[in-house]
Structure 1
Amino acid sequence: MSEHITYEEEQGRLARSLQDIENQLRSIGPKYTGDDFTEQVLDHQREERKQRLEIAFKEPYFGRIDFQEMFQDGVSVAKDNMALYIGKAGVAKEGGNELLVIDWRAPVASLFYSFTGGEALAEYESPDGEISGHVHLKRNFMIRQGELVRLVDSYVRGQEEGGVTDEFLLFRLGENKDNKLRDIVSTIQGEQDKIIRAERNKALFIQGVAGSGKTTVALHRLAFLLYQYEGRIRADRMIIFAPNRMFLDYISGVLPELGVGDIGQTTFGDWAVELLDHSIQLSDPSETMIHWFEERRSVEEWEQASGRWKGSIAFKKIIDDRLTEIQATILPTISFNPLPRFELTPEMMREWYDTDYGDETIMVKRDRLASRIRRWLESELKQRGISDKKIRAGAMSKLNSFVKKMPSFSALQLYTSLFKGKTALAGVPKALAKATADRLGNGKAASEDLAALTYIHLKLYGLHSAPFDHIVIDEAQDYSPFQLEVLRLCQRTVSMTILGDLQQGIHGYTGIHSWNELKGLFSEEDTGFYELNRSYRSTMEIIEFANYILGGMTGEVKPAVPVFRSGDPVVAEQRNNDDWLPAIHATIQQWQAKGEYDTISIIARTERESYDIHQYLIAQGVEVSLVNSKQPTYSGGLTVVPVYLSKGLEFDAVLIADAGAVAYENMDAKLLYVGCTRALHMLKLLYRGDRTPLLADWND
């Protein structure tokens, strides 16, 4: 225990802080409901302050760092030692003359995350330049309902450093999960903090192993950017792309806990359908993705048939060529002669098109040119004093006929033309062309069609809303280069956080095999690349087991490095078909009887298998929920989930329902890896018949 302040003194300090915050909350008047603009602005500021105070009242701070500033940009200043308390929301003391709590995003707060011990000078970047000095104390707090329930000193200057550095982290990692992702603001690690505070105007790629916290890092990065660039970027111009709606629900609590709202959260499919004005519907993924998983259609077959080709930059270039052809047909090649001695030449129309609307999109330029021709005609009629209604009506009729000859397309029409009729692309397999054209003809699109459809729409009509200030793409290993190119068009300046794990790239028929496939879309100076190889989710036993599953694979990703948190060994048990379902039931009963796990998941190979397990357990009187591809929420407790939908989720205990040779072949290593790395504390595998060849030499 530090000699700086005792446990009792910290309790007293906490009580005074809570009283101060409560006093400030009481002093905020009622919400203004009038029409005065100035009062509305002031009320908005009061509401923001109230929100910060309410966050602080729940947990005023989680850390303290005692820092003695010694140098500012190399110039000696030798100030007094300061005790800095770090929290989710910055709070000034009542009266506003002194900081009670420092916002975790403030420059000086970076010391709390970057300092790992030692008596050398520590430094941080402030608006005034580099500040360096000595850290005398680093302390972690856990505060619950106004009570100080845990205090851990991870560094005390002058004392020998023991094994307490990670004590607080290990304690937090050992806690059970509920049905929502939590913020990690009190346990952000140094390598994570560097990503969170990285400069804004880059495409930032994060390769993070399972459990490395990459999703929470990206969410905290959004909160940091709003703080760092206040007034220059807006929350309502940020967007998060997640793999599915259930995952969006799972992460929905993090940003509000950090005091951030109004950030768009969606899937690429939902965003694309909205961008296309709901002119298409997304076809059931069972027609493609689930079909592939359950029938084991090879990646090569999908590459040839659809997925990676439609998501490639080569396909984008084909579309660009078609768009160039379309644009050439828009400009009239003959004069417009609505009345005798009235002539608008093609040369004049081309000049308007090229000079007046040069930066507009194709259909916008077409519509503006049509409007310009109309204004020309009205001006000519007025200048020549032609007021006869019949003559004017005739001229307008000729105008309408002339404009109709200028082609107009929707994204769906143009994309369909690539696979149907005289304008269909040469060399496309007939089966693929027919399947795509038939699907589009029914107003539906497969996921692999969305990149092309949205790209065409953006080139024809542009983005309906303001460009995005920042884009987060989660599970980006499942994105195609074409999808990323589409999102690039939605920004004026590159500002993206792109995260994923190549080892969890289970959608190989559409996703990438190397980060270079996406990084190559940007100039080198516009990109950054970070690796998060330490896994904070699972015990050492689970991580080592998961690494074993991928042991025979090659690639650019390093194995996960576990935090030193030991737990129960991983267990694999053989069952036959007759006792397989009873064994699942018995395992769940045993785990629930122990009362140690709040969230338990049975991870099945397919949706069909998930359904069968769920029905059996229901018949046994077990309270269990079933997760499927159309489900918008994850409710926690005991769940059955197909492995491909488990990605991104976490559970206290995981039972792999069947890890037999029939269920998981060598090609399914990434899929089994995903399932196993969902477990925090306990992992067990059952297998029918022979175990998967992925575990042929594993000794449990």
Structure 2
Amino acid sequence: MEAERAYAEAARDGLGRMVEAARRQVVIGEGAGADRYALESLGRLLKSRAKQLAEEPGGPPFFGRLDFGADDADHGGNRYYIGRRHISGGPERPPLVLDWRAPVARTFYQASTGEPQGVAVRRRFGWDLVGSDVRPGPAVRPGPAVLTGFEDERLDQGGDLRRSRILDAEIERPRQGPMRDIVATIQPEQDDLVRAGLDESICVQGAPGTGKTAVGLHRAAFLLYSHRKRLERTGVLIVGPNPAFLRYISAVLPTLGEADVEQTTLDGLLSRTHVRAQDTETAAIVKHDARMAEVLHRALYARVAVPEETLVVPDGAYRWRIAPEELSALVGDVRGEQVPYGTGRERVRSRVVALLRRQAERRGRPVNGAWQRNIGRSPAVAAFLDHAWPRVKPEELVAALLSGGPMLAQAAAGVLTGEEQAALQWDRPRSAKSACWSAADAVLVDEAAGLIESGHGMGHVIVDEAQDLSPMQCRVVARRGGHGSLTVLGDLAQGTTPWAAQDWDGQLAHLGVPKARIVPLTDGFRVPGAVVALANRLLEALDVDVPPGRSVRGDGELRFLKASTLAEGVVTAVRRALAQDGAIGVICADAALTALDEALRAAGFEPGEAGEAGGGARVALVPIGLAKGLEYDHVVVAEPAQIAGDGTRGLNRLYVALTRAVSRLDIVHARPLPALLAD
């Protein structure tokens, strides 16, 4: 133990030297005192203040150790410490700690007694984190984590390994504040997904508590490590379901050494459209339907006209002419090339100029680049383009379509029914400037922009809670993916939107990756067994084909609390929960939010927002619409019958609420329980 503690101090000293060297590198453009990899990576990390606060003061410098047997061909007799980041041993010396993403570190997650992969001993370390889960304020900085113990697993002796108490303790450690990384507890099936190749798209169907979100985030970190140059050019994008979810996961990637990853919601991708209106559910369902892509395509290309007159272009003493038949063939050829509409307009212009140039050259007219630019911008060519291939802005196209009239009727003929067309149409015609856009309209504007403009595709896109995306929202994500790969995360049983997916095949096709590998994760490490068993009772009523979750944990508590009033029962449950460690989440129907907030404040509690605990009370009040993806040590589900009765997806929402608990679940009800929970 003393030797390991001394090694931990040496690793911290090495990290300190790296930080100082990286700071010098930032200042003077070059560094000394550490290897090139360390200087580059630390220089990058210093740009993130969150990273400095989270890791430099006190995080464990390593969580595992590998001792290879003497007869291993590649690493015979070597010992490696594995941590969240590479820690240099100094110039011309081996590293003190290997990054968990290094190729040899994979053995830490994959080796077993059946396949030791050359490892004789795998050591896991236990740490007292001394408040390192609490974000430090200006005057509060956590002390360094203290090494408290270790466990050795003899992989070279065969037989079954006993379950690691250190591993269990890390999985069951109380949650408070943002989501944590899982580098110390990654399981072999999770590791396979994390290390999937950059060119492979995968879909993770994850039951609650199986770590699908963590897998996605760790895959982002792994891909950035393995394909740094390529992804620094093209970028990595994470799309989450709501801002509360993004707040919750915000600390994971900086902790893993990656700060330059764009994290946003779908609404964030649609920021070009200012949303001020709200659709009826009927209108929203039609606008989110995949058929709207065809309607918009028709509406756009209905503006392309067949040239009927000869194009005459004055050029000093000359007059160049192109017959309508030649112009029609030119426009038809460009349409057949299926390029973005704006690109097509410029191709028509350039080919018209090419025809004119050939005429000029045959007549001996001197031509050069300036001549071609002037001819391309001439009034005659501009007038021809505005007639044959007019310039269109996305907002103008959508506004014209939703204003109804002949344009909508023509574009939607045979695609949408008359009732659906009526649902789409605004109450009166509006221009793009006067329109009051809805969230669904913003999706249509983005589709129109994708038809008109050439977009920039990211190198890799990770989309969480993907089962809730509509076909048109999937197309928004697919455009950001471009020709890159996707990691699709979700659970069909947790689909809560009116257009939630019933199967993955159709959803992956809309996302542009129909051949993505679908991998189910069923072994849960977050949700206790009693909670998983209760939630599984709802699966038969959810009309989705997903395997039931299984929990590897035998701990946890589940209580049903009958109350005379809901507010009184929730206050009582919260007061009891505060006697134990960890964050507390009160999850309720949206309609109950105000009343419960008032009741909790009247009782002396100060509930925080979804995704973060509230002040010293450690309590968050979470409307069911924002609960997905979050987790709390102690969850109070308020009035499950009210949640289950909220729309056609009420039981899915209840399934989400029941599976947010990491350790303890209280179900508080003043009304009778739903039938599937009643016994």
CA distance change for structure 1 residues 335 and 122 in 2, over 3 Å: closer, same or farther?
Answer: farther
Query: Any idea what SS the aligned residue of 1:613 has?
Result: helix
CA distance change for structure 1 residues 44 and 437 in 2, over 3 Å: closer, same or farther?
Answer: farther
Q: Which moved more, 1:257-266 or 1:345-354?
A: 345-354
- Residue correspondence of structure 1 range 338-377 to structure 2 within 5 A: 338-339=313-314, 341-346=319-324, 349=327, 354=333, 360-367=339-346, 369-370=348-349
Q: Which moved more, 1:206-215 or 1:309-318?
A: 309-318
CA distance change for structure 1 residues 621 and 524 in 2, over 3 Å: closer, same or farther?
Answer: closer
Q: Which moved more, 1:8-17 or 1:259-268?
A: 8-17
Deviation of the 1:469 alpha carbon: 0.4
Which of 442, 459, 475 is 1:485 aligned to? 475
The 1-side partners of 2:74 and 2:201 are apart by 39
Does 2:5 match 1:11? yes
Which of 198, 211, 215 is 1:213 aligned to? 211
Deviation of the 1:111 alpha carbon: 0.9
CA distance change for structure 1 residues 24 and 359 in 2, over 3 Å: closer, same or farther?
Answer: same
Q: Which moved more, 1:207-216 or 1:469-478?
A: 207-216
Deviation track 1:427-474 (CA, whole Å, cap 9, x = no partner) reads 2315403348779865344344444432221121121xx321001111
Which of 670, 673, 678 is 1:688 aligned to? 670
Report what 2:78 is aligned to.
82
The 2-side partners of 1:52 and 1:69 are apart by 37
Does 2:274 match 1:281? yes
Task: Kindly indicate whether the alpha-carbon contact (under 8 Å) linking 1:610 and 1:626 is maintained by their aligned counterparts in 2.
Answer: no
- Residue correspondence of structure 1 range 419-458 to structure 2 within 5 A: 419=402, 420-424=404-408, 425-426=412-413, 427-429=417-419, 431-435=422-426, 442-458=434-450
Deviation of the 1:85 alpha carbon: 0.7
Q: Which moved more, 1:161-170 or 1:201-210?
A: 161-170
Report what 1:580 is aligned to.
566
Deviation track 1:381-407 (CA, whole Å, cap 9, x = no partner) reads 998799xxxxx99x9555554443242
CA distance change for structure 1 residues 376 and 238 in 2, over 3 Å: closer, same or farther?
Answer: same
Does 2:592 match 1:609? yes
Deviation of the 1:142 alpha carbon: 2.7
Q: Which moved more, 1:416-425 or 1:335-344?
A: 335-344
Extract unaligned runs of 5+ from structure 2: 47-51, 130-142, 368-373
The 2-side partners of 1:493 and 1:455 are apart by 17
Task: Kindly indicate whether the alpha-carbon contact (under 8 Å) linking 1:479 and 1:511 is maintained by their aligned counterparts in 2.
Answer: yes
Report what 2:518 is aligned to.
529
Residue identity opposite 1:30 in structure 2: R
CA distance change for structure 1 residues 597 and 20 in 2, over 3 Å: closer, same or farther?
Answer: closer
The 1-side partners of 2:503 and 2:553 are apart by 30
Residue identity opposite 2:256 in structure 1: L
Report what 1:74 is aligned to.
none
Task: Kindly indicate whether the alpha-carbon contact (under 8 Å) linking 1:242 and 1:267 is maintained by their aligned counterparts in 2.
Answer: yes
Query: Any idea what SS the aligned residue of 1:232 has?
Result: helix
Which of 103, 116, 123 is 1:122 aligned to? 116
Report what 2:243 is aligned to.
245
The 2-side partners of 1:203 and 1:471 are apart by 9
Does 2:501 match 1:516? no
The 2-side partners of 1:617 and 1:236 are apart by 47
Task: Kindly indicate whether the alpha-carbon contact (under 8 Å) linking 1:504 and 1:670 is maintained by their aligned counterparts in 2.
Answer: yes
The 2-side partners of 1:78 and 1:256 are apart by 32
Deviation of the 1:523 alpha carbon: 9.1
Which of 630, 643, 655 is 1:673 aligned to? 655
The 1-side partners of 2:547 and 2:152 are apart by 29
The 1-side partners of 2:553 and 2:661 are apart by 16
Task: Kindly indicate whether the alpha-carbon contact (under 8 Å) linking 2:207 and 2:491 is maintained by their aligned counterparts in 1.
Answer: yes
CA distance change for structure 1 residues 681 and 404 in 2, over 3 Å: closer, same or farther?
Answer: same
Query: Any idea what SS the aligned residue of 1:660 has?
Result: helix
The 2-side partners of 1:363 and 1:164 are apart by 64
Deviation track 1:606-653 (CA, whole Å, cap 9, x = no partner) reads 2x31011112322333222355xxxx9775721222112111111121
Extract unaligned runs of 5+ from structure 1: 1-6, 72-76, 124-132, 289-301, 387-391
TM-score under structure 1 normalisation? 0.80
The 2-side partners of 1:147 and 1:214 are apart by 27
Report what 1:389 is aligned to.
none
CA distance change for structure 1 residues 147 and 471 in 2, over 3 Å: closer, same or farther?
Answer: closer
Deviation of the 1:322 alpha carbon: 4.0
CA distance change for structure 1 residues 38 and 587 in 2, over 3 Å: closer, same or farther?
Answer: closer
The 1-side partners of 2:27 and 2:307 are apart by 56
Report what 2:69 is aligned to.
68
Task: Kindly indicate whether the alpha-carbon contact (under 8 Å) linking 2:569 and 2:669 is maintained by their aligned counterparts in 1.
Answer: no
Task: Kindly indicate whether the alpha-carbon contact (under 8 Å) linking 1:202 and 1:526 is maintained by their aligned counterparts in 2.
Answer: no
Does 2:485 match 1:495? yes
Report what 2:89 is aligned to.
93
Deviation track 1:576-617 (CA, whole Å, cap 9, x = no partner) reads 3xx33222222222222x1x23321221112x3101111232
Does 2:638 match 1:657? yes
Query: Any idea what SS the aligned residue of 1:234 has?
Result: helix
Residue identity opposite 2:220 in structure 1: L
CA distance change for structure 1 residues 450 and 104 in 2, over 3 Å: closer, same or farther?
Answer: same
- Residue correspondence of structure 1 range 523-672 to structure 2 within 5 A: 526-568=515-557, 570-576=558-564, 579-592=565-578, 594=579, 596-606=580-590, 608-625=591-608, 637-660=618-641, 664=645, 668-672=650-654
Task: Kindly indicate whether the alpha-carbon contact (under 8 Å) linking 1:664 and 1:672 is maintained by their aligned counterparts in 2.
Answer: no
TM-score under structure 2 normalisation? 0.82
Deviation of the 1:208 alpha carbon: 0.5
CA distance change for structure 1 residues 201 and 78 in 2, over 3 Å: closer, same or farther?
Answer: closer
Task: Kindly indicate whether the alpha-carbon contact (under 8 Å) linking 1:61 and 1:141 is maintained by their aligned counterparts in 2.
Answer: no
Deviation of the 1:537 alpha carbon: 1.6
Task: Kindly indicate whether the alpha-carbon contact (under 8 Å) linking 1:625 and 1:639 is maintained by their aligned counterparts in 2.
Answer: yes
- Residue correspondence of structure 1 range 374-413 to structure 2 within 5 A: 396-406=378-388, 407-413=390-396
Which of 475, 479, 482 is 2:465 aligned to? 475
Deviation of the 1:47 alpha carbon: 5.6
Residue identity opposite 2:85 in structure 1: A
Identity of aligned residues (%): 24
The 2-side partners of 1:191 and 1:661 are apart by 37
The 1-side partners of 2:146 and 2:38 are apart by 31
CA distance change for structure 1 residues 314 and 493 in 2, over 3 Å: closer, same or farther?
Answer: same
Query: Any idea what SS the aligned residue of 2:2 has?
Result: helix
Query: Any idea what SS the aligned residue of 1:212 has?
Result: coil
Report what 2:311 is aligned to.
336
Deviation of the 1:159 alpha carbon: 6.5
Deviation track 1:46-89 (CA, whole Å, cap 9, x = no partner) reads 46335679757743211112123756xxxxx4863222111111
Report what 2:100 is aligned to.
104
Deviation of the 1:337 alpha carbon: 1.6
Residue identity opposite 2:633 in structure 1: D
Deviation of the 1:654 alpha carbon: 1.3
